[in-house]
Amino acid sequence: MALQIDSVSAEARARRGWLRESAEDEDVAPGSPRRISIFGLGYVGAVSLACLARDGHEMFGVDIDPGKLELLRRGQAPIVETGIQELTRAVMRGGTVSVTDSVRDAILATDISFVCVGTPARQNGNQDLAAITRIAEQIGAVLPEKSTRHIIVIRSTVKPGTLDEVIKPAIEAASGLQAGRDFSLCFQPEFLREGTSINDYDNPPLTVVGADDPYAVEALRGIFGHLPCEFMHTSVRTAEMLKYACNAFHALKVTFANEIGRVSQAAGVDPHEVMKLLCMDRQLNISSAYLRPGFAFGGSCLPKDLKALLYLAKNNDVELPMLNSLLPSNAAHIDHAVDRVLASGRRSVGMIGLSFKSGTDDLRESPLVVMAERFIGKGLPLCIFDPEVNVARLIGANRRFIEESIPHIASLMTTDLDALVRDSDVLVVAMKTPEVLAALRAHTRPDQLLLDIAVLPERESYRAAYQGVCW
């Protein structure tokens, strides 16, 4: 087999110049019908096959299961889904759909392939990539026979890095060709829900293509650009990760609603009314608010109210595993930031910001106060700048909190921001006021570490070694 692959690769190499030229010269108008193959006729594959055929494309469905192929030949969908039987019957009668178990026939007959094979979980939780790797190798073995540039679109859910580290090497090894030059490879996550998949196909929240290959991006824009949503082009790894982020967020929302339901039930409250009102808040609750990677939460409300809710649940013998995990997860985020500083081996630390939120003097439950305590405990010289915090003016609960947490905080504070930036080995930056940005641009130096927990703009303008706390 190795000798056969090498022989084919040599032949392919001899005509690559013409192949690339012909692919780049190929003129397909946006929205024009394409010849498309679908590998894997399970849930995503069967729906995609029917919808793309309905939209006017010539389709080739590929699967190793003869039962699925026979059902499709009879005009029956291999899945149970609202509207899919009628749509499958219509497109099969239309004569624009063929099905086969031959990878070679499908690749030679089409110019774009969507790979929708399963990536099931192994016993240890990792993905089983056997099927998608096998398909990649089989597709790669056929590519040298083609005289035009083929586009391979992975729709199977895979971990970030899988295209670059597993699928691309498998195709290149089997073909002797190079991704991005002789064939195109990209990732397009799907957002189909079982039960409403045809409607979801026609009305997606957005279309995302992960690719560094403009040829593939424009081809997919021609296929999906008519849909009533934004067409987003991003990196392959971002697109791979997006699918996991979406599914994890959906699982989180279901679990959150159920845990609120259980504790509401125990407290004699109608949880459906609670969640109905919660969802009416489009500024903070059902919005992009708080959904940006940054630093830990704190302040006078979130920590104490979460603790009170958990106490209510405990008193009513209600288990809330997810909500119980929030405070430990928040603490782990602070630990992560502290560990980044300690791992640098640098000594003196300058903290820019101390209150739980920029623009306030509230130090209660501030994660930055926790960080300051940790640095002091480790014996690191510490200097703090926060123009909103004046220890002498603190009153009430805010003052009591500081007296109990860091009673000698006044001796650590400075009003000389420029000197703090110049004299510190590590800068922990939690503010991005114009004053702070100007000091960072003017006084940072290459031997410093800048740990950003404020999502600073213009990062290239700071001379210190830059690290985001979780980016």
Which amino acids are annotated as binding site, given as ranges? 63, 68, 119, 157, 191-194, 243, 290-294, 298, 304, 357, 364
How many helices (DSSP H) and strands (DSSP E) are in the chain? 20, 13
Alpha carbon distance 13, 143 (integer Å): 12
Query: What are phi and psi for residue 263, nearest 5 degrees?
Result: -70, -35
E strand or H helix at 384: strand 382-385
Query: Is 228 buried (19+), middle (13-18) or exposed (0-12) by CB count in 10 A?
Result: exposed
Alpha carbon distance 439, 407 (integer Å): 28
383 contacts 349 by C-beta, under 8 angstroms: yes
468, β-bridge pairs: 452
User: Which pair of tokens denotes residue 45?
Assistant: 């594959």
Task: Count CB neighbours of 95 within 10 A.
Answer: 9
Query: What are phi and psi for residue 161, nearest 5 degrees?
Result: 100, -10
Alpha carbon distance 172, 294 (integer Å): 39
Q: Check if 301 is active-site.
A: yes
Nearest to 85 by CA among 101, 71, 106, 65: 71
- Name the E strands within 301-348: none
Which residues have C-beta within 8 Å of that of residue 228, sequence separation ≥ 6? 203
* One-letter amino acid of 355: S
Query: What are phi and psi for residue 62, nearest 5 degrees?
Result: -125, 130
* One-letter amino acid of 448: Q
Sheet with 465-468: list strands edge to edge. Answer: 382-385, 349-352, 426-429, 449-452, 465-468
Selected catalytic residue, list 186, 229, 279, 301: 301
Alpha carbon distance 226, 239 (integer Å): 20
Binding residues for NAD(+): 63, 68, 119, 157, 194, 304, 364
Classify residue 301 as left (phi > 0), alpha (psi -120 to 50) or beta.
alpha
Nearest to 138 by CA among 171, 113, 163: 171
Nearest to 471 by CA among 290, 346, 292: 292
Provide the residue count of the chain: 471
Place of tokens 């919660």: 278
Alpha carbon distance 197, 203 (integer Å): 10
* Residue numbers annotated as active site: 301
